[in-house]
Amino acid sequence: MAGVNKVILVGRLGKDPESKSFANGGSVVRFSVATSETWRDKQSGERKEKTEWHNVAIFNENLGKIASQYLRKGSQVYLEGALETRKWQDQQGVEKYTTEVVLKAFRGELTLLDSRDSGAGAGGGRDSGGGYGGGGDEYGAPASSGNFGSARKPAPAFDDDLNDDVPF
pLDDT at 25: 86
Q: What is the DSSP letter of 138?
A: T
Give the list of residues 6+ apart from residue 46 with CB closer than 8 angstroms, or none: 40
Per-residue pLDDT 10s for the chain (168 aa) are 789 999 999 999 999 999 999 998 889 999 999 999 999 999 999 999 999 999 999 999 999 999 999 999 999 999 999 999 999 899 999 999 999 999 998 889 999 998 765 544 433 333 333 333 433 333 333 333 333 333 334 444 545 555 555 554
Contact 69, 25 (CB under 8 A): no
Q: What span, in angstroms and rounded, lies between the C-alpha atoms of 71 and 114?
A: 9
Whole-Å CA distances, 47 to 34, 38, 42, 43, 163: 19, 7, 9, 11, 63
pLDDT (0 to 100) of residue 52:
96
Whether this prediction's pTM lies above 0.85 is answered by no
- Contacting residues for 89 by C-beta, under 8 A, at least 6 apart: 95, 96
pLDDT of the residue at 34: 97
